[in-house]
Structure 1
Amino acid sequence: MLTNKNKYDVVIVGGGLSGLISAFQAADKGLKTLVLEKGRNLGGSGNYVEGLCAVGTEMQKAKGINYTPSQLVQTELNYSHYEADSRSLKEYFNESAETLKWLQSKMGVEFTEVTKLGSGMVTWHLLKGQGKEQIQKNIIPSVKKVGCEIEVSVSAQKILKDGKGKVSGLVIKSEANGAEEAISTNAVVIATGGFLNNPKLLREETGYDPDKIININSGKNTGDGQKLAWAAGAQRVAKGTLMAFNGYLNDPTNPPYKYWYSEMNTAASLQSLLFVNEQGDRFVNEQVTDNFADCGNVFLHQNAVYSIIDQATVDYLSKKGLLKIIEIYYEDTNKPLSHLQEQIDEALTQKLPFIHKANSIEDLVKKLSLTNLKPTVERYNELCKKGIDEDFGKDSHFLVSVERGPFYAFDLGVGAFTTLGGLKTDLDNHVLDRNGKIIDGLYAIGADAAGKLCGDTYSPNICGTCAGYCAYSGRKAALDIAKNLTR
């Protein structure tokens, strides 16, 4: 047998943040609970989560922050052009402070501070040691302590139903030897974290070009849950949202996480310097980096994006400090990027494909076929001298000229963490069929159900929304299962 029993009250497909939280709540309510994780390790992309959204917490009150849930709901509705679901947002935000308290009291989850990102609201409750430390140190031990069974390297292959259309079991498979068997269960919870790591599905379901997207996650989010649920009759909706963030060094020869804390990536992507497209044309007010999702959108609409920096700017960032802070990463503008030149030189020595150096702008044009780069730089330098961005309205603080060689061009893709949605759920996270009816016994949580929180663009104005929803929805689904099974 691949599991210890052949019948469970609930089986949770996916051992990431939302799945583990759901498993704890279910087992804590006395349910026979099984977690299936297709990988060898638990936590999934939750290991990289930095913080959770909540409103009305003690941490916010201590800083004099007095947002109301209604304010957050309205902000999300406005940002999404009312594509987000008002009722889901209302319930989530109304319960968010209590959800954080529950995480702290029941599983010992530790938070360090509440902050914001870019121009957003102060809703981001940072996890001590990020998701990895809290999942490995506190959440997993808590899940095991309440008697939940966890099986790794085991995947779900098919949802089984009885004659009335209610979930009755799962076909599962050993990822080690391919053996399959069927188990019985009253409920299945989909918690597989979206489909960012499935290029075919990403292109078909969202229209995004996967070649432009740099995946910064666990690498395991391949749409398993969506495909399971769709095959069981689930409605395919709210599937077009990508949690994209700012430009990111486009290096297919190295794992993406290498540049997460790279000073070179910070300089090229996050300082609102000169961005040009495949023609060498400037195309946006570079302060768009203040909202990482907006930045991701505008970058994805170019065929290519380059960050153009001269040696004078490299020297300034290396010796003087930043032009703008990056919350939780680089919060002191007076602290220089002391390893920037070293990282640039190393990348050039290794001939990494994303970086290009030339002694003149004309040479950069020849190297990259950026036809309009020379007049673009000349116009940009003219605006820098005036101190007024007559073309796109960028603040004069970020009008940094490109005059002293050598000159660098950094090829930027778009970083992304997850997709949001794919499955339509009700307020208790039941999965709905093509007619909007409940598929009895089938639930979806976390990123797989989070499309209803946004429109076509994730809102970093309320940072941590998806991660907070992972905790909220995981608990919500488990409580509903427990209620239904004990009637």
Structure 2
Amino acid sequence: MGQSFSRRDLFKLGGVAAASVAGASALAGCGAKSAEAKGYGGATTTGTTTEAGHFRDGLPGFLANKPEPITKIAEERDYDVVVIGAGSPGVPCALAALEAGASVALLQKEAEASAHGNSGSGIDLENSDPSHVAHLIGQLMTDSQHRPNRALIEMWAQNSGEAVKWVIEKSAAGGAQVIDQGNAQHMPLIKKFGYNMSFVTSFFGPKPYCVGDGMKAMCKQAESEGVEIFYSTPAKQLVTDKDGRVTGVIALMPDHTYVKFNARTGVVVASGDYQNDEEMLKYYLPDLQYLDQKQHGRTGDGHKMVVWAGGCIEDFGHTKMLHDFDAGPASMCDMPFLRMKMDGERFCREDTEMSLMNCYLRSEKDRGNYIEVFDSAYMEKAAAFPGKLVDPEGLRVYMPEEDVERKAVIPTMIGTYKADTLDELAEKLGVTDVSNFKKTIARFNELCANGADVDFGLKPDYLKTIDTPPYYGIHRHVRMSALCSGVKVNDDLQCVTPEGEAIPGLYAIGNVAGGFYGGIDYPLTVFGLNLGHNYTQGYVLGKRLGAM
């Protein structure tokens, strides 16, 4: 199975594997459904294929079940560029293409723009040492286990400062609440490596305001400049010509008629990840089956359409992003306070990043939940901890029991508590075994007194007793923020076949595109990297297509 198959070889194999690579039909959706495709592992052909992200016989059901070709077209509309998805990569792409001279249609399956997060980062090249920029590119390669396409990281590094500045300007023109935070979020990185670097950091906020609101504002600006946006209009099928070039997309309009959007220059797929498609999630990231999703509507539509047009999904080892920056202060989420599962059992060395906690909490019992515990002397005891402490008064906005104005938080996601006794704290946190909870704290205090953690090896500087009431606890619940793996693209963000051949007229950006990451978990090397790379890919590709 280790060999490579050409298009001709796949045609000889027949079935869906051949049809999806060849793209020879007028519509990418052409081809009969296979009755054998059942469940996420259902095989539909006997030929070897790599479209699904690895060598296998046949395609899984969610890729094999190509829809019948849509032939009842109510109308055709002509544009230079058609963008699928009004999110953090798609909206910048559409507007950048328009400003570069293209006529643009932006299709969004939801009733408004949709995105999440707050910060998006880029490099201010004019105020950065080029050798340090190169080092950061190498560090991002290292932190993604050396699997990314370096050219895509370089695209971000060389263009992101300009792109993020532009996103700030355009979204602000549309009325967004956005500022440039500069280096504020990046000082730990700068200090760690001694970088002479500056960043441009867009921040849409404060919470609950987020980049989703920012993209709605940017859509207003885009429409005012001439981008035609079609809401509640999901893309259904890519259109290909006899040579396999993607020439447009068929979408379902709000009145339930089909319209073919012809694209003279190209179709850009920017439809987000697949976390809400149960079959895809079980297939590519089965270890997340008991962890919850934060987003909605991320059903892998773009991934499937690209595969049906001849493309392929990147190799197994997909990158996941699971965070909880909301239960307590984000600046304290990586601090090495005592951590326990909900049954009161200590489970990791506490200087492990919050972004990796999901790896410990994948079971049906845990479901991404854990607690952090410290006492009322934490401002002194934890003064040298990495991050930034928030004082007791500042913690009150994260406490459901406190009657305060909730500023810069998402009220439904806060989970910080205070109690005079450990029994009371355990009850508030939802601990299932209070006796074990108190036993674990007693053991931790014993290790602190001895100055050596013989259980997990936490550094002595981080061993701080929990013995001064009132006591504090944070109940964190890590959930899927994004899945950061997608279809294979080349250095120019053009979708490719399993053999690496570019598919004319078809591009992918953002979390539907692969190659930028590669590790098991999303790297927090650069705060706001994912949104920054989304903006940059959209901006760079939009400008390029608009100028064609």
* Shorter-chain TM-score tier: 0.7 to 0.9
What letter matches 2:260 in structure 1?
A
Q: Equivalent residue of 1:474, what SS?
A: helix
The equivalent residue for 1:256 is none
Deviations along 1:195-234, one digit per CA (max 9) or x if unpaired, are: 233344222222232432351x4x2322221122122221
Structure 2, gaps ≥5 residues long: 1-71, 174-178, 191-196, 206-210, 404-412
Alpha carbons 1:128, 1:134 under 8 Å: kept: no
Q: Which residue of 2 aligns with 1:127?
A: 202
Counterpart of 1:111 (choices 175, 180, 186) is: 180
| Residue deviations 1:239-279 (CA, integer Å, cap 9, x gap) | 6111222xx4xxxxxxxxxxx6554x769955432222466
Q: Is 1:53 aligned to residue 122 of structure 2? A: yes
The alignment of Structure 1 onto Structure 2 pairs a total of residues equal to 445
Q: Determine the C-alpha separation between the residues in 2 that align with 1:92 and 1:3.
A: 40
Relative to structure 1, the CA distance from residue 280 to residue 103 in structure 2 (aligned partners, 3 Å threshold; closer, same or farther) is: closer
Equivalent pair of 2:123/2:161 in contact (CA under 8 Å): yes
What is the alpha-carbon distance in structure 2 between the residues aligned to residue 367 and residue 136 of structure 1?
40
**1:361 positional shift:** 9.9
Sequence identity percentage: 19
* Local SS of the residue matching 2:234: strand
Letter in 2 for 1:297: C
Superposed, which structure 2 residues align to 1:19-418 within 5 Å? 19-42=90-113, 44-46=114-116, 48-58=117-127, 68-103=132-167, 110-116=179-185, 119-121=188-190, 125-130=200-205, 131-132=211-212, 134-137=214-217, 139-174=218-253, 176-186=254-264, 187-215=266-294, 217=295, 219-238=296-315, 240-245=318-323, 248=324, 261-263=326-328, 271-277=335-341, 280-289=344-353, 292-300=354-362, 303-304=365-366, 305-307=369-371, 309=373, 313=375, 315-316=376-377, 331=388, 333-334=390-391, 336-339=393-396, 343-344=400-401, 360=423, 368-369=432-433, 373=437, 375-396=439-460, 398-403=462-467, 412-418=476-482
Question: Structure 2 CA distance, aligned partners of 1:96 and 1:390?
Answer: 45
In the alignment, the residues of structure 2 paired with residue 341 and residue 111 of structure 1 have an alpha-carbon distance, to the nearest angstrom, of: 25
Asked whether the equivalents of residues 239 and 250 of structure 2 are also in contact (C-alpha less than 8 Å), the reply is yes
Distance in 2, matches of 1:75 and 1:165, equals 38
Deviates more, 1:161-170 or 1:108-117: 108-117
Q: Deviations over 1:131-156 (max 9, x none)?
A: 3564344x334422331100111100
State the SS of the aligned residue for 1:418: strand
Using the TM superposition, name which of 403-412 and 470-479 deviates more: 403-412
Q: Is the 8 A contact 1:169 1:185 kept in 2?
A: yes
| Farther off after superposition, 276-285 or 415-424 | 276-285
CA contact (8 A) 1:165 1:439 kept: yes
How far apart are the structure 2 equivalents of 1:3 and 1:141?
27
Local SS of the residue matching 2:250: strand
Pair 1:15-2:86 in alignment: yes
TM-score w.r.t. structure 2 length? 0.69
More moved, 123-132 vs 33-42: 123-132
In structure 1, distance between residues paired with 2:381 and 2:73: 55
Separation of aligned partners in 2, 1:405 and 1:341: 19
**Structure 2: which amino acid aligns with 1:453?**
Y
RMSD of the alignment, in Å? 4.0
Shift of residue 470, structure 1, vs aligned partner: 1.1
Query: Which region of structure 1 is more displaced relative to structure 2, 13-22 or 224-233?
Result: 224-233
Looking at structure 2, the residues matched to 355 and 105 of structure 1 have their Cα atoms a distance apart, in angstroms, of: 36
User: Is this contact kept in 1: 2:494–2:508, CA < 8 A?
Assistant: yes
TM-score (norm 1): 0.77
Residues 1:443 and 2:504 are matched in the alignment? no
Alpha-carbon shift at residue 388 of structure 1 (Å): 3.3
Q: 2:471 and 2:478 mapped to 1: Cα distance? A: 22
Write the distance in 1 (CA, Å) between the matches of 2:88 and 2:247. Answer: 25
With 66-75 and 460-469 compared, the bigger mean Cα shift is at: 66-75
Flag the 1:231–1:49 CA change in 2: closer, same or farther, 3 A.
farther
- Cα distance in 1 for partners of 2:416, 2:304 equals 38
Q: Retained in 2: the 8 A contact 1:120–1:460?
A: no
The 1:237–1:293 alpha-carbon spacing in structure 2 relative to 1, beyond 3 Å, is same
> Displacement, 1:374?
5.4
Task: Judging by fraction of residues, say which structure has more helix.
Answer: 1
Q: Which residue of 2 aligns with 1:453?
A: 517
TM-aligned CA deviation for residue 190 of structure 1: 0.7
Assess if the C-alpha contact under 8 Å between 2:88 and 2:535 holds in 1.
yes
* SS of equivalent to 1:452: coil
Residue pair 2:76, 2:259 contacting (<8 A) in 1 also: no
Residues 280 and 332 from structure 1, CA distance in 2 versus in 1: closer, same or farther, beyond 3 angstroms? closer
Letter in 2 for 1:129: F
Higher strand share: 1
1:54 corresponds to which letter in structure 2? I
